[in-house]
């Protein structure tokens, strides 16, 4: 483990960005999101980003193929290519877990090579949560906000940023960082104390005691047929805000766009909450908002874990809790259909 004073942290950003592209939380126009670092950027390691770090590996919109048409010839170019080394800095434990969930989707056969290229090239530097938000409930999914893992794990304590490499990929980058100082026993104690402080804060959060015991594969049909879905979904606008801020939503659409000299095929995020998401030539199997609402949360809490070794497709980041204009979110579903251990 090594350290750098927070007063000198820009030197760390500058050194990493001199080695490769660096993405980290930047405040722009009042919104905090992951952006490419540039000198003078308003970096904020304390707040929660609006959208998750997922966008670095699975962009909201990305070109897949370029078709260039010249007279009778068509030139086809794979726009994804091989990605050079880059770093994602300041990733919280919930977003780090989301990468593992997305890996199960995009790295399963057939492999999404564009996503694979980014995952192989990216080095994730996580950051322990000193100030968890009240809407956080990651503990319910077995996520430790005090020890977020990643390629390099970092934490802030006593005016320093402490960093420790955890993977071979992380160590290669770590060994190149000359601005870091060595740690002593006092630093080790400060890091350990920081872990304990974060754990105490997480335990005290109002949503730390949700009961997920009902959400399992053998209860699929009983949960699917619960009458409470009508009440839960009644006010849903189908706006899709919950899906666009969610770290684990992976639905997308593929479209062709005509350019001046050909066609560009691109992928963009989609939402199961949209009325035309499942619309096909013959029919639409989900014609009501209740059906779409139920599908979203059944996938997060039942379908996905039933097919992925019990791993839920929710990481408890709380973004949907904050962003839904009607205050309809996964916490309400869990409480209504499952319960609260503290009740």
Lowest-confidence region among 33-42, 163-172, 275-284 = 275-284
Q: What is the pLDDT of residue 341?
A: 57
Q: What is the pLDDT of residue 339?
A: 64
Q: pLDDT per residue over 57-69, tens digit each?
A: 999 999 999 999 8
List, as one string, the DSSP characters of 109-144: SSP-HHHHHHHHHEEEEEE--SS--TT--GGGGT--
pLDDT above 90 for 116: yes
Taking residues 101-125, what's their average pLDDT? 96
The pTM (predicted TM-score) of the whole model is 0.93
Q: What is the pLDDT of residue 261?
A: 86
Q: What is the pLDDT of residue 340?
A: 61
Q: What is the pLDDT of residue 179?
A: 97
**CA dihedral in degrees (92, 98, 99, 103; nearest 10)?**
170
Q: How many Å apart are CA 72 and CA 56, to the nearest integer?
A: 37
- Location of structure tokens 């606008």: 237
Q: How many Å apart are CA 94 and CA 99, to the nearest integer?
A: 9
Q: What is the pLDDT of residue 279?
A: 86
Q: How many Å apart are CA 319 and CA 239, to the nearest integer?
A: 15
Closest CA to 239 of 327, 300, 145, 336: 327
Residue percentage of the chain with pLDDT more than 90: 87
Contacts of 44 (CB under 8 A, 6+ apart): 25, 26, 27, 32
Q: What is the pLDDT of residue 70?
A: 86
pLDDT above 70 for 81: yes
pLDDT above 90 for 282: no
Q: How many Å apart are CA 145 and CA 257, to the nearest integer?
A: 42
Residue 220, classed as helix, strand or coil, is helix
């Amino acid at each position: 483990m090594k350290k750098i004073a927070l007063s000198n942290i820009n030197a760390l950003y500058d050194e990493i960005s001199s080695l490769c592209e660096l993405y980290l939380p930047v405040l722009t126009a009042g919104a905090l999101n992951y952006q490419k670092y540039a000198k003078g950027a308003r970096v904020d390691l304390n707040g929660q980003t609006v959208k998750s770090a997922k966008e670095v590996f699975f962009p909201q919109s990305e070109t897949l193929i370029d078709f260039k048409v010249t007279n009778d010839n068509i030139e086809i170019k794979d726009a994804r290519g091989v990605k050079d080394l880059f770093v994602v800095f300041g990733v919280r434990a919930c977003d780090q877990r989301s990468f593992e969930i997305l890996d199960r989707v995009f790295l399963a056969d057939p492999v999404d090579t564009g996503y694979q290229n980014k995952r192989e090239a990216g080095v994730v530097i996580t950051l322990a949560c000193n100030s968890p938000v009240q809407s956080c409930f990651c503990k319910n999914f077995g996520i430790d906000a005090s020890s977020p893992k990643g390629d390099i794990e970092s934490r802030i304590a006593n005016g320093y940023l402490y960093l420790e490499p955890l993977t071979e990929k992380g160590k290669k980058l770590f060994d190149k960082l000359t601005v870091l100082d060595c740690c002593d026993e006092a630093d080790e104690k400060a890091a350990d104390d920081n872990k304990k402080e974060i754990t105490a804060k997480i335990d005290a959060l109002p949503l730390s005691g949700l009961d997920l015991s009902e959400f399992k594969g053998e209860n699929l049909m009983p949960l699917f047929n619960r009458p409470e879905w009508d009440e839960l979904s009644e006010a849903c606008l189908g706006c899709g805000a919950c899906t666009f801020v969610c770290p684990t939503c992976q639905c997308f659409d593929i479209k062709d766009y005509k350019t001046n000299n050909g066609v560009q095929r691109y992928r963009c995020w989609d939402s199961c909450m949209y009325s035309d998401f499942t619309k096909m030539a013959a029919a639409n199997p989900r014609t009501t908002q209740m059906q779409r609402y139920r599908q979203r949360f059944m996938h997060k809490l039942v379908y996905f874990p039933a097919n992925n070794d019990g791993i839920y497709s929710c990481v408890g980041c709380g973004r949907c809790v904050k962003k839904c204009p009607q205050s309809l979110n996964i916490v309400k579903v869990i409480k209504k259909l499952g319960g609260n251990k503290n009740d």
